[in-house]
Amino acid sequence: MRVYKRADFLQLPAGTVYCAGGEWFFGGICFKGDTMGNDWSVLDPAWVDGKDSGECFARLGEMLDDGVSYPMEEDYGRDGLFDEGQIFLVFEGSDLKNLRGMIDKSIEVCEGKT
């Protein structure tokens, strides 16, 4: 893994997997989209799919209260925080391969293969 300051992070290509944060805390895993000036598009897979925030919140409530299942977000949105002090923990190839192995094991658990 590598840690980047914002200006350097903005130069990274779309498809970069990262966690945003500060010294020394980071949020969840996100996928970087295209850089747009001093901003970029981002995909946060730890969010439910919906046409707008109202539908997302309603779906989350149904998931909690009724055990309903909805798919994860697959669309990119704008980061829009413009926090110059933000830093980024960026996954490298070997990290992503390790993560893929963890996900493969989790898929086996979900499919009842273990």
Q: What is the pLDDT of residues 85-112, one digit of tens each?
A: 999 999 999 999 999 999 999 999 999 9
Per-residue confidence (pLDDT) for residue 88, from 0 to 100: 98
Residues 20-65 have pLDDT tens digits of 999 999 999 999 999 999 999 999 999 999 999 999 999 999 999 9
- Quick one: CA dihedral 88, 92, 98, 103, positive or negative? positive
Question: Identity (one letter) of the amino acid at 5?
Answer: K
Per-residue confidence (pLDDT) for residue 113, from 0 to 100: 82
Listed by start position, the domains of the chain span 2-47+74-110
Question: Taking Cα atoms as reference points, which of 54, 41, 26 lies closest to residue 81?
Answer: 41
pLDDT of 114 strictly over 80: no
